[in-house]
Structure 1
Amino acid sequence: MNVNNIYELAESLTEHWSPQVIASVNDQYVKIAKIEGQLVWHTHEQEDEAFFIIKGEMYIEYENHIVNLKEGDFHVVPKGTPHNPVAVTSSCWIMLIESKSTLHTGEVQTKKTKSLQEQLSASEVKR
């Protein structure tokens, strides 16, 4: 049975917008990432996406409003909802909880998009 420190895991990340799987819980992955600037407008048609702010601040743009998130805040983006995550502080640290089927940027492909294999490759999945 493993015990991991979320701050140490996040500190070890070297690339922004590159989520890394740190655990598998039933049909969900727990991921951490450092973010800076904005990602891209995208939608996860069949999956909700949960954000927990470990360090820093970010906001999530929606078509008609913005949700501001500070350290310690938790927010769920409902499935089928177009959104764009944006870091307010440089190197904001986040935890994501997503279905194993969730594509990083939905159907949108950019230079920042990471495949599931890339998200799994840098870290051993903990159970």
Structure 2
Amino acid sequence: MDIVNIDSVLADFPQNRTSERVAGIDGYDVRLVKTEGDVPWHQHDAQEMHLVLDGALTLVFRDGNEITLRKGDINVIPAGIEHCAHATPGTNVIVFEPSQQ
């Protein structure tokens, strides 16, 4: 049973738009993501969860809805929902998504 220190992993990231799998649970990856700027439109075949650690992540949906997640906020996007995102500088997020095996 390993311990992962989130601050240490983030400090080792070389740049923004970096993502690393830090753990796994029941077919899902726990990814630590350092990002900023725009993420293009996309969708997933399974649910995806975001937990914002720092910064702000705005999610925009095709139906026109938009939500902004800030430090401590969690959101689950249902499977098949198309979305894009914008992250402010210094945004760090934990993402739970299906493992890519």
* Structure 1 length-normalised TM: 0.73
RMSD: 1.4
1:99 aligns with 2:87: no
- Residue 66 of structure 2 aligns with an amino acid whose one-letter code is I
Unaligned runs of 5+ in 2: none
- 1:12-91 equivalences in 2 (<5 Å): 12-44=12-44, 46-63=45-62, 64-87=64-87, 89-91=88-90
Aligned residues: 100
Q: Give the % identical residues.
A: 23
Hey, which bits of structure 1, 4+ residues long, moved more than 6 A? Answer: none
Alpha-carbon distance in 2 for matches of 1:77, 1:14: 28
Alpha-carbon distance in 2 for matches of 1:73, 1:10: 19
Q: Contact (CA 8 Å) 1:21, 1:32: kept in 2 or not?
A: yes
- Shift of the alpha carbon at 1:8? 1.8
Q: What is the SS of the residue equivalent to 1:98?
A: strand
Q: Contact (CA 8 Å) 1:13, 1:33: kept in 2 or not?
A: no
Alpha-carbon distance in 1 for matches of 2:4, 2:19: 17
Q: 1:37-68 CA deviation, whole Å, 9 max, x = no partner?
A: 01110111x21110000111111011211111
* Structure 2 length-normalised TM: 0.90
